A = this chain, B = another copy of it.
Amino acid sequence: MTELKTTQSIPTTLHLRSEVQPSDVQDVRRIVEASQFFSAAEVDVAVELVQERLQKGAASGYEFLFVEHPVLDQDRLRQQVIGYVCYGEIPCTVGSYDIYWIAISPDHQRNRIGQQLMQSVELAAKKLNARRLYIDTSGKPLYTPTRNFYVRCGYNIACELADFYAPGDSKIIFEKAIPPH
């Protein structure tokens, strides 16, 4: 067991990586589990998307951005993943992108990293000719901070599907139109 010490300074611009590497499988599991927002089944799905990207490459339809942060690991500086987003063009659409998953390590959630990551994914999707971005979440009270976060990021509620996830647990679809170049 290696003890990790995070450095004190938070970078004002994010260190982002879009290439997916095998170690991301365990990093995504760690971050998604630590967030405590997701069920065991949901954690498995998050991990499967990484595995599918590793196996199929771009043909998987899943794109990633990983936020890395320097940590001291046995007196050596290395990059640790502290958050990530998984997104991709929705099959059978032209330029509609879904943000399938976004999670930030709890230690770093107060540093506006989430908002910077959302801006980064919008820019990355725009380069891929995205016209619209969608992101789903639950209507349950637990997710009020999540919904407020999407509103702060400029997303509008497109619709709410009652009892979607489970009885009494609706799905809310947020959308954002990306201005053309």
Q: Which residues of A contact B (CB under 8 A)?
A: 39, 41-42, 45, 90-96, 131-132, 134, 158-161, 163-167, 173, 175, 177
Which of A92, A134, A166, A167 gathers the greatest number of chain B CB atoms within 10 Å? A92
**Given that A131-B167, A132-B164 are known contacts, is A92 also in contact with B41, CB under 8 Å in the complex?**
yes
- Which residues of B are found within 8 Å of A159, using beta-carbon distances? 158-161, 173
Alpha-carbon gap, A95 to B96, bound state (A): 27
For A166, give its contact among B95, B134, B160, B166 (CB under 8 Å).
Answer: B95
- Which residues of B are found within 8 Å of A96, using beta-carbon distances? 163-165
Alpha-carbon gap, A163 to B177, bound state (A): 9
